[in-house]
Structure 1
Amino acid sequence: MGLALLCFGIFLFLLVFAVPLGHAMAAAGVIVMAADGINAMGAVQRIFAGINSISLIAVPFFILSGLLMEGGNISKGIVDFARAFFGHIRGGLGHVCVVSCMIFAAVSGSAMATALAFSNLLSPAMKEDGYETEFIAGLQACGGTLGPIIPPSILMIMYSSYAGISVASLFMAGIIPGLLMGVGLMVCCYRYAKRRNIPLLPKITGKERMKIVGKSIWALLMPVIIIGGTMAGFCSPSEAGMVACLYGLVVGMVVYKGLRFRDLPKLFGRAAITSSTVLILMGLANMMGYMLARLNFASIIADFFSSFTDSAILVFLIIVVFLLLLGMVMESNAATVIFAPVLYPIANAFGIDAIQFALVVVICECIAQITPPVGALLSATASIQGVPLQSTIKHVIPMLVAQCIVLLLVVFIPPLSTWLPSVLVG
């Protein structure tokens, strides 16, 4: 027990003093390994084991597919489609932003990529229509949280590699809650536009709408390939990511003509750097997570919970609060890798469904990316829009409430996350 608490304590202590996340995880893991009599080679082996998973092949492919989609003008096709069907509703461009993020989420699997994908396309028009810059930054950040919830999802792939849960099941579990969160954000956009009396956009005729759908169909087929191929069992998530990359490359170069051969080295380089960052953090987090598991940290926490309650719902809610607080100060990928091996045995001990619990973990980590003091998504979108982070908070709070309502619905109504996997995956 002493070493487990020491490991966790060292990690938190270093984070408080602004030590980089990877360094903090490495230091905590190595120090406690040495204290437990494990040599340095053991640390190297645990780092390698953290990324030595066949399911993780999907990570770089989904990252690359998102970059190809953005660089190949495929994102513009998504925006045009969303505007044709939702632009005329009160808060039209806000709805277009949310729906575009939902569709893009079905390709990239990344919160940050989803949040930033439509900044240049939508921000100027939204400002011209009367949307405050602070609201735009908050909406784009909240839209980004849909990236890892609506499949595919890098976070889900990472979780499944440690918890031994089917990736396809996790993907299907995220569809209904992801759509509900999107609807919640659209309600916030409607209320904001009504309060500020933002003018309605002209309604597009049926003929024009069909013309736009025809032009956008190539962009819309990309998420269909990933989700449809996985659901139908034609390909694994990794294979779907590979096909999406090839499809994005061809469509971006031949159909939308946004990609050129000279652009590819830069895109491949960005994908490699982003993937490497994710995988390095996973390796280091696995070393620390291994030590916490080896030292029975999960049993310590489970015994602590059992000492004052036997209610699964109460334990579930405590874990939700812990994850939301943790996400405020810690990168979501690392938090998932470190605490998934610790928390899912606790959930299992209290009879919480594995798929439901996994999805709640993912949602918590996504929501936490828009909450200060770190708020990685909100910091990024505020920086791009050129506004102070604190000025966006008042606009984010209603969206955060909407997302937390969906989170609680998933906690209290298991079929929201378990029904689709049971029907489509089995």
Structure 2
Amino acid sequence: MTLYLGAFALCLVLGVPIAFSLGLASLVYLLATGHAMLLMAFPQKIIAGIDNFVLLTIPFFILAGNLMNAAKLTQQIVRLAQLMVGRVQGGLAAVTVVASMLFSGVSGAATAEASALGSMMIPAMRRDGYAPAYAAALTAAGSLLGPLVPPSLALILYGVLTGTSIGDLFLAGIVPAVLLCGLLVAYTLWKARREDHPLPPPLPAEARRGVAARALPALLLPVIIVGGIRSGVFTPTEAAAVAAVYALLIGTVFYRTLSLAQIREAFFETATLSAGVMLVVAMASMTSFILGIENIPQAIARAVLGFTQSPALLVVVLNVVLLVLGFFLEPLAALVLAMPILNQLAPITGLDPVQFGVMVVFNLMIGMITPPVGLCLFIVSAIGRVPIDKVSRAALPMIGLCILVLLLVGFVPQLSLLLPSLFHR
């Protein structure tokens, strides 16, 4: 296994994309350890890793988000956020967080939020006198709300890998997302008073009229998804297809902002991003196969249990390990790689599978705003034209708030299980 890890680390250092790093490291391992006969299983395992009907939800939800973005719904959502929280000192920063929360039900991905909202809010905050690094860091932190709110791609993948109800996972992420949103808003208001941030001008009367009505169709998307799944009207895969059709209809009929060229571009971006996600999942499946050959999950489980058998301490240890893993790996790849081990340890923690899933996904997503490979950090750094080290330092207090919510998810079951339990009554 040391050979595999060495080959994988070398590929990453050389700048090889993570999906190909996983595949090349697997080939090196099979050839160097006398398992050349298993090379015949390589394509079979890769195909088996993505041969799951529920995985069709990923391209459909990505398409829905891309169509919503192309329809310029970001402006409607930002205006609604301005109407809700904009008239306080430091209100533009609070608007950024609330807009992230509202936009989460459209995008389902942190990177989509960081790029869509960042391109609008970071320049606006800079014009109002906010420090560029703070504006970029706040946008990156707010983007973590996306993977917690339906349609979250990471929660879908976790549900596929573990057989956990995707509908329950969608519901379970909502309360932690609201809590994180509230903490980030409170932080922005505290910082506004401390650093005397400006009071934004009021929205013009003509801009206020009909703001909620114009934003409502976009905000109904997560309600349709979760409501349809929980009521049994459609499966998660069907819900994703419905979401894509709904996004296409409101973009062309209600908002009338989608042109044929934009629709083609949305389909192209969806194909590109979906292919990347599926390639990572496929290659990581081969790595999981190698872990099984070496009995690594069982060995790690025994080692952890030798260290502690306390469920509470085990939760802390798992969170620390996952945080470190998220520093270096893209979240979806880290999730596929870690699941064979986590499946061994999850029952010992005593956590509900839905609660455990929200904790694991949110933990790995924190890596999106931490160096050295935090993708959201790179996105907001490029948009704001701020060195990434400055953005990283400005994000530290917000990362602390994220870790606080993570610990609450791990140790307060009702935080994530309240809504699923209500729908099961």
Shorter-normalised TM range: over 0.9
**RMSD, matched Cα:** 2.1
C-alpha distance in 1, partners of 2:342/2:69? Answer: 36
> How far does the alpha carbon of each residue in 1:130-182 deviate from its partner, in whole angstroms, 9 at most, with x for none?
21211111111111111111122111111111112111111111111111111
Q: Are 1:218 and 2:217 counterparts? A: yes
C-alpha distance in 2, partners of 1:294/1:152? Answer: 34
C-alpha distance in 1, partners of 2:349/2:190? Answer: 40
Shift of residue 254 of structure 1? 2.6
Aligned partner letter, 2:23: A
Aligned partner letter, 2:310: S
Which residue is equivalent to 1:75?
A: 74
Aligned partner letter, 2:123: P
Q: Are 1:20 and 2:17 counterparts? A: yes
C-alpha distance in 1, partners of 2:206/2:260? Answer: 36
Structure 1 residues 89-128: aligned runs within 5 Å: 89-128=88-127
Summarize the Cα distance change of 1:199–1:282 in structure 2 as closer, same or farther, 3 Å threshold: same
C-alpha distance in 1, partners of 2:142/2:205? Answer: 28
Structure 1 residues 276-425: aligned runs within 5 Å: 276-425=275-424
Q: Are 1:241 and 2:240 counterparts? A: yes
C-alpha distance in 2, partners of 1:208/1:37? Answer: 66
C-alpha distance in 2, partners of 1:21/1:283? Answer: 12
Deviates more, 1:248-257 or 1:321-330: 248-257
> How far does the alpha carbon of each residue in 1:101-142 deviate from its partner, in whole angstroms, 9 at most, with x for none?
112211221110011112233233222222121111111111
Summarize the Cα distance change of 1:220–1:353 in structure 2 as closer, same or farther, 3 Å threshold: closer
- Whether the 8 Å CA contact 2:167–2:226 is kept in 1: the answer is no
Q: How many residues align?
A: 423
Which residue is equivalent to 1:264?
A: 263
Summarize the Cα distance change of 1:125–1:20 in structure 2 as closer, same or farther, 3 Å threshold: closer
Structure 1 unmatched ranges of 5 or more: none
Deviates more, 1:295-304 or 1:18-27: 18-27
Aligned partner letter, 2:60: F
Deviates more, 1:178-187 or 1:416-425: 416-425
Q: Structure 1 vs Structure 2: percent identity of aligned residues?
A: 36
Q: Are 1:31 and 2:25 counterparts? A: no
Summarize the Cα distance change of 1:105–1:390 in structure 2 as closer, same or farther, 3 Å threshold: same
C-alpha distance in 1, partners of 2:186/2:232? Answer: 35
Structure 1 residues 39-58: aligned runs within 5 Å: 39-58=38-57
> How far does the alpha carbon of each residue in 1:18-54 deviate from its partner, in whole angstroms, 9 at most, with x for none?
4431222112323334534543220111111111111
C-alpha distance in 1, partners of 2:409/2:290? Answer: 31
With normalisation by structure 1, the TM-score equals 0.93
- Whether the 8 Å CA contact 1:302–1:346 is kept in 2: the answer is yes
Describe the SS at the equivalent of 1:271. helix
Aligned partner letter, 1:22: A
Describe the SS at the equivalent of 2:146. coil
Deviates more, 1:261-270 or 1:122-131: 122-131
> How far does the alpha carbon of each residue in 1:346-402 deviate from its partner, in whole angstroms, 9 at most, with x for none?
121343332222111101111111111111111111011111101112321111111
With normalisation by structure 2, the TM-score equals 0.93
Structure 1 residues 163-202: aligned runs within 5 Å: 163-202=162-201
Aligned partner letter, 1:113: A
Aligned partner letter, 1:235: F
C-alpha distance in 2, partners of 1:170/1:365? Answer: 16
C-alpha distance in 1, partners of 2:186/2:298? Answer: 42
> How far does the alpha carbon of each residue in 1:46-98 deviate from its partner, in whole angstroms, 9 at most, with x for none?
11111111111110111111111111022211111111111113321112211
C-alpha distance in 1, partners of 2:103/2:48? Answer: 31
Aligned partner letter, 1:11: F
Structure 2 unmatched ranges of 5 or more: none
Summarize the Cα distance change of 1:11–1:348 in structure 2 as closer, same or farther, 3 Å threshold: farther
C-alpha distance in 1, partners of 2:418/2:127? Answer: 43
Shift of residue 281 of structure 1? 0.6
- Whether the 8 Å CA contact 2:59–2:271 is kept in 1: the answer is yes
Shift of residue 217 of structure 1? 2.1
Deviates more, 1:337-346 or 1:10-19: 10-19
